[in-house]
Amino acid sequence: MEHTPGPWEADNGIVFSDFGTIATVSIDMVDKEANANLIAAAPDLLESLETLYDLFKSGDYPGTEDLDNAHAAIAKAEGKAPTVNDESKAPAI
């Protein structure tokens, strides 16, 4: 099963892509924006996790770009701007 290609973005509780609306988070929810940000980050999180999984499965280690992409996806899910090479978020290898 394929999902709508990313990137997905969130604005005022609506998650959308270039292809249209993906989801609308209920207006009554207190955490509407946080939930919309998490949904919007789903394609980025999936892509990053697949990349990291493939690297570790093959015995390789992620490079700085791989870790930066993972950190950016996490920041997007949290509704934050990513910071490049943030050592506090990078796992020890």
Q: Is residue 88 part of a domain?
A: no
Q: Is residue 38 part of a domain?
A: yes
Q: Is residue 28 part of a domain?
A: yes
Mean pLDDT, range 52-58, rounded to an integer: 94
Q: Is residue 87 part of a domain?
A: no
Least confident of 7-16, 27-36, 68-77: 27-36
**Band of the pLDDT at 31, cuts 50, 70, 90?**
confident
Residue 93 has pLDDT above 50, yes or no: no
Q: Is residue 3 part of a domain?
A: no
Q: Is residue 82 part of a domain?
A: no
Q: Is residue 56 part of a domain?
A: yes
Tally the domains of the chain: 1
Residue 86 has pLDDT above 60, yes or no: no
Cα three-residue angle 91-67-81, rounded to 5 degrees: 105
Max Cα distance, the chain (Å): 47
